[in-house]
Amino acid sequence: MRIAILNKDRCQPRRCSHECEKYCPRVRTGDETIVFGDDGKPLVSEELCVGCGICVHKCPFEAIMIIGLPEALTEPTHRYGPNGFALYGLPTPQVGRVTGILGPNGIGKSTAVQILSGNLLPNFSQESGTWDKVLEYYAGTALYDYFSDVADGEIKVSQKPQYVDMIPKAFKGKTSELLDKTDERGKLPELVERLNLSHVLDHKITELSGGELQRVAIAACAAKDADFYFFDEISPYLDIYQRINSAQLIQEIAEDKAVLVVEHDLAILDMLADVVHIAYGEPGGYGVITHPKGVRIAINQYLKGYLPEENVRVRSEAIKFEVHPPRMGTDISTLMDYAAFSKKYGDAFSLSTDGGSLKQGEVLGIVGPNGIGKSTFVKILAGEVLPDEGELDHNIKISYKPQYIKADTAIPVRYFLRSVSSRFDSSYYQSEIAIPLQIERLYDHLVTELSGGELQRVAIAACLSQDADMYILDEPSAHLDVEQRSMATKVIKRFAENNRKTAMVVDHDIYMIDMLSERLIVFEGEPAVYGKAHKPSSMQDGMNKFLANLGITFRRDEDTSRPRVNKPNSRLDREQKAKGEYYYHDIMDE
């Protein structure tokens, strides 16, 4: 069985010669496999299509996909018309549980939530759907009672959007005004305190940082009196402290409510969810949502890339973690030594650092809470900010990707990347940066029209494109799904090693830091008051110091070697804390 997908936004029939129809073998023999509709765009007959793929390769705008589906798939739950995106299966919200969805962007997670909230009626690939058909289809399943309540209007939904940076475009008032509108449970004062929002209540929404917007969005969603809560990515812009705090808050909501969470930070999803649905398919083409699985089983299967119950391979290679802490090399050349320096911003904030050295060809991870001076540290290294005490006497070029990315100029991605790099047209650039980061399809899109994840990948490519000695990337994981984070990790690490360049990565995703870093710079202090940057240390020493401040311990999963958060006060948690082994416990015991 196969389906044909037409990306109508990408299709430009007035700017092409209708190559899809002209080169189709079935059309040339007289069949109407491809015809053009009233809007001038092609319609591909899935019954007549033989799946040769010629139209896919001949389309100058890459607007057509011909996809062979797994045999087990029959009727889609919902399809957006002929040659439109198809969704198979739905997650099952359960009162008293946090249900997670794990899968790439563009796979139908938002469509599933729209159906569960009653805003979209599943049509089962027909022209329109009815509640009678929905209830008949789900009779005898766990979703029947849920959809019965939705049909009767007895289900109220509260949603937290994925892209919180869009909130200032929709609301211009003060933070307190926005939150007051959502306080239906009388829990707002408690939520404001839990999420540390007291200091921004009198601020305008347009003045908030990304982390503050994220916490406001979580508070607004949690403050509503609903039956079904949906949180779409709680981790972007939040540090690990805030992520854990938000996860604990969501778990409390789920004690007597149904909660659905989409999250790409696997450490947080592992700690937060009770069950997980895996979503797989072809982004923009079709998506399949599996039956619920145990959290550990679901994440391990997803990392391995094979789902045994469904007999489906969702990835050609497994995502792997280092079994041992990266070893220090003695023959690695030093890029630069830097002395201790400090920076003060009046009486508001001060940063001090230990001196250290940076090695060629290595990736350093930088970890610590928000507001502790990490961005100031890398800006001083990058030469964008001058220190008050201490001098950085180096003659190295630095390429810097900031935490918050803004697209101000409406130019195509192709010309933007070519403007920052003379290597854009080289085979190395295309094979090592553009193709792995999946930005070739974005070349003809305007930079200002990109989504958050697309803009992030373009920004990473732009940073690595420049001719420099050191590359600093501030939170490259934001808005990237698990697949994209894994690929970005490989690109950055391979780029540093192959070109003997130094890379510094500031991020809060423990998995990304674990896969990427050879050494670690740990920040301590009091957010928004003072920060202290320690000298670069081994991953083992650095993570132990960092996690000791967090008060949490990690173990290694025996199947995939991925880090897993120990439950607070569990036997393993107590043992590791007593030994001071917060991270590499399993390795030390070998």
Quote the tokens at residue 246.
């938000």
Average pLDDT estimate for 8-35: 93
Say if residue 392's pLDDT is above 80: no
User: Which residues are bridge partners to 307 per DSSP?
Assistant: 312
Scored b (16 or more CB within 10 A) or e, 99-126 reads bbbbbbbbbbbbbbbbbbbbebbbbebe
Please enumerate in sequence order all residues whose Cβ is within 8 A of that of 547, keeping only pairs 6 or more positions apart, or say none: 553, 554, 582, 583
- pLDDT value for 327: 47
Per residue in 158-210, pLDDT (tens digit) is 999 888 888 888 888 899 999 999 999 999 999 999 999 998 999 999 888 88
Cα distance between residue 352 and residue 315, in whole Å: 44
Say if residue 588's pLDDT is above 60: no
Q: With pLDDT > 70 as the criterion, what percentage of the chain qualifies?
A: 97
Quote the tokens at residue 73.
């798939």
User: Between 19 and 403, whose confidence is greater?
Assistant: 19
Cα distance between residue 332 and residue 359, in whole Å: 6
Per residue in 238-277, pLDDT (tens digit) is 988 899 899 999 999 999 999 999 999 998 999 899 999 9
HSE value, Cβ hemisphere, 13 Å, CA-based, for 492:
36
In this structure, of 20-29, 213-222, 345-354, 373-382, the range with the lowest mean pLDDT score is 373-382
Per residue in 520-565, pLDDT (tens digit) is 999 999 888 899 999 999 888 898 998 888 888 988 888 888 888 8
Residue type, 514: D
- pLDDT value for 533: 93
Res. 58 pLDDT band, cuts 50 70 90: very high
Contact 90, 289 (CB under 8 A): yes
- pLDDT value for 393: 65
Residue 20, Cα to own-chain centre: how many angstroms?
A: 34
In this structure, of 29-43, 352-366, 416-430, the range with the lowest mean pLDDT score is 416-430
- Closest among 437, 450, 427, 428 to 492, alpha carbons compared: 437
Rounded to a whole number of angstroms, the distance between the first and last alpha carbons of the chain is: 50
Per residue in 316-375, pLDDT (tens digit) is 888 887 655 554 554 578 888 888 999 998 888 899 999 888 888 999 999 988 888 888
- pLDDT value for 347: 80
Angle formed at CA 428 by CA 423 and CA 433, multiple of 5 degrees: 85
Calculated CA dihedral for residues 188, 193, 197, 199, nearest 10 degrees = 120
Cα distance between residue 86 and residue 108, in whole Å: 8
In this structure, of 145-154, 202-211, 219-228, 320-329, the range with the lowest mean pLDDT score is 320-329
Average pLDDT, the chain: 89
Quote the tokens at residue 527.
């957010």
- pLDDT value for 589: 41
For helices 452-465 and 482-499, angle between their N-to-C axes, nearest 10 degrees: 0
> 62's torsion region: left (phi>0), alpha (psi -120 to 50) or beta?
left
User: Between 22 and 376, whose confidence is greater?
Assistant: 22
Say if residue 131's pLDDT is above 70: yes
Burial class of residue 484, CB neighbours in 10 A (0-12, 13-18, 19+): buried
Res. 590 pLDDT band, cuts 50 70 90: very low
Res. 585 pLDDT band, cuts 50 70 90: low
Residue type, 136: E
- pLDDT value for 26: 94
How long, in residues, is the chain? 590
- pLDDT value for 405: 83
Please enumerate in sequence order all residues whose Cβ is within 8 A of that of 248, keeping only pairs 6 or more positions apart, or say none: none
- pLDDT value for 323: 59
Per residue in 469-488, pLDDT (tens digit) is 899 998 899 889 888 999 99
Quote the tokens at residue 111.
């469509």
Contact 485, 493 (CB under 8 A): no
